[in-house]
Amino acid sequence: MSDPGTRISDQQSLRRGKIEIRGLTKQFGDSDVYRDFNLDLQEGEFVSIFGPNGCGKSTFINLISGIIPIDFGTVLYDGKTIAQTRLSYVFQNYREALFPWMRAISNIQYPLKILGLDKKTQSLRVEALLAEFNIKIDLNRYPYELSGGQQQMVSILRALITDPEVLFLDEPFSALDYEMTLFMRERLQHVFLKRRNTMILVSHDLEEAVQLANRVLMLTRRPTRIADTVPVDVPWPRDAKSLTSPEFVAIKSRCLEVFSREVARHDSAGAASGSG
């Protein structure tokens, strides 16, 4: 793993491209979720998305990953379309995301099967992935025989087996207890520092959003825009002790200040509208 004193600026990504989002627009009924939304992200970084409930955090990654259609706008990954880019997705509800009739190893191998790779190649890929990250799980068990953390690790391994250019994570640890959450955050950092896949995380937990990111994108309420982009210049890897360091607390406080300001602004606007 990376030296504990290594800072983000010293961790140079092998992926140099940009994710360009231009004119992103999405409506649900008469409500604008995104309206002419523009954003540039650097490939090879870890970005957290944080904002008020209902602001469209999950909708954002669903749009730019192609899970739900965009009304207007474009999304390009180093000049390539969504369909031309290797994307993977880790869902919030890991129990529903895994195939219960398949053993864990078959769940992990499934994307390779879809790609048409032979069984020997599938097995070698899984073995290499497990060895790379020192994950010890009995993959011959069915998902229901595994703990919640083990099930979510299987989901992450399945998402990584194709070596995606971009990995989307939609509140992946929200159903886990705090002890397992801390463990999973550390494992995910290990994956990121070793592979440097672009990772985009939606989180409702500000501590988690800061701990895992190069940058935290703070969103407003709908129609959603970026309230602020907060860099996280804290040494990697960030274990539980890092959460109480002065620099971590300062960054978290800045994010909380932006969040509180946006919530207050929305509440004030709503009160003014109601009084009119």
CATH number for the domain including 64? 3.40.50.300
149 φ/ψ angles, rounded to the nearest 5 degrees: -65, -40
List, for residues 152-202, the tens digit of each pLDDT value: 889 999 999 999 999 999 999 988 889 889 988 998 999 899 889 999 999
pTM score: 0.89
Q: Can you tell me the distance from the alpha carbon of 208 to that of 184, in angstroms, rounded to the nearest whole number?
A: 11
Inside any domain, residue 184:
yes
3-class secondary structure, 33: strand
Over range 114-135, report the average pLDDT: 88
Inside any domain, residue 3:
no
Inside any domain, residue 125:
no
Q: Provide the pLDDT for residue 130.
A: 86
Q: Provide the pLDDT for residue 3.
A: 43
Q: Provide the pLDDT for residue 270.
A: 57
Inside any domain, residue 37:
yes
pLDDT at residue 266 above 70? no
Q: Provide the pLDDT for residue 96.
A: 85
Inside any domain, residue 221:
yes
Q: Provide the pLDDT for residue 5.
A: 45
Over range 83-95, report the average pLDDT: 91
How many domains is the chain built from?
A: 1
Length of the chain: 276
More confident residue, 132 or 73: 73
Inside any domain, residue 149:
no
Over range 247-254, report the average pLDDT: 97
Inside any domain, residue 40:
yes
Binning the chain into helix, strand and coil, the percentages to the nearest 5 are 45, 20, 35
Q: What's the domain range around 69?
A: 8-86+164-275
Return the closest-CA partner of residue 51 out of 181, 189, 209. 209
Inside any domain, residue 119:
no
145 φ/ψ angles, rounded to the nearest 5 degrees: -90, -5
Q: Provide the pLDDT for residue 9.
A: 39
224 φ/ψ angles, rounded to the nearest 5 degrees: -75, 135
Q: Provide the pLDDT for residue 103.
A: 96
List, for residues 1-46, the tens digit of each pLDDT value: 334 444 433 334 455 689 999 999 999 998 999 999 999 999 999 9
pLDDT at residue 273 above 60? no
- Identify each DSSP E strand in the chain by its residue range: 18-28, 31-42, 46-50, 72-77, 87-90, 166-170, 198-202, 215-219, 226-231
Residues facing 202 on adjacent strands? 49, 170
pLDDT at residue 271 above 70? no
Q: Provide the pLDDT for residue 15.
A: 56
More confident residue, 267 or 4: 267
- The answer to whether the CB of 129 falls within 8 A of the CB of 160 is yes
Assign 274 a pLDDT band (cuts: 50, 70, 90): low
